[in-house]
Amino acid sequence: MSPFDSEDAASTATNAPVIYVCITCRPAGDPDSPARPGAILAAATAQAAAGTEVQVRPMRCLANCSRGPSAALRSNGSWTYVFGGLDVGCAQALVEGARMLAGAADGILPWRGRPAPLKRGLIARVPPLDFHEVDV
């Protein structure tokens, strides 16, 4: 079983948070390097999530190459958040953010209490499929 396989009763709950980490991000200025910062971040995030309800899923590309390494957080019924400019030191912040998102009644990651890397590295937030904008 790999560190990314955390299929247990807690992780299959309907609001279990998921972290998608791009594993193909390349080091800035060295596109031929075999070292992939995203893969290193994915492994560190999986380790940080061990023993929690948070699932970590490596992805081949999140299409945020100019601001990688990148990761996305989601939980059923929530908005999806995409972050960039991450490094291996952001692994615990991703897990904390995913847990905050899963616990948010409105499906929106709270600003207050959000780890710093998830404040400065926000790229986008995407509404859930069933979202309908309130008329203003």
Mean pLDDT to the nearest integer, 34-60: 93
Please check the confidence at residue 14 and state whether its pLDDT lies above 60: no
Residue of 71 and 135 predicted with greater confidence: 71
Buried b (16+ CB within 10 A) or exposed e, 32-51: eeeebbbbbbbbbbbebbee
Domain residue ranges in the chain: 18-126
Q: Which pLDDT band holds residue 136 (cuts at 50, 70, 90)?
A: low
Is pLDDT above 70 for 10? no
Amino acid at 57: R
The Cα diameter of the chain in Å comes to: 50
- Rounded to two decimals, the pTM is 0.84
Residue 27 has pLDDT above 80, yes or no: no
Digit-coded pLDDT (tens) for 56-115:
999 999 998 888 899 999 998 899 999 999 999 999 999 999 999 999 999 999 999 999
Confidence grade of residue 118 (pLDDT, cut at 50, 70, 90): very high
Q: Which CATH class is domain 18-126?
A: alpha beta
Identity at 69, one-letter amino acid code = P
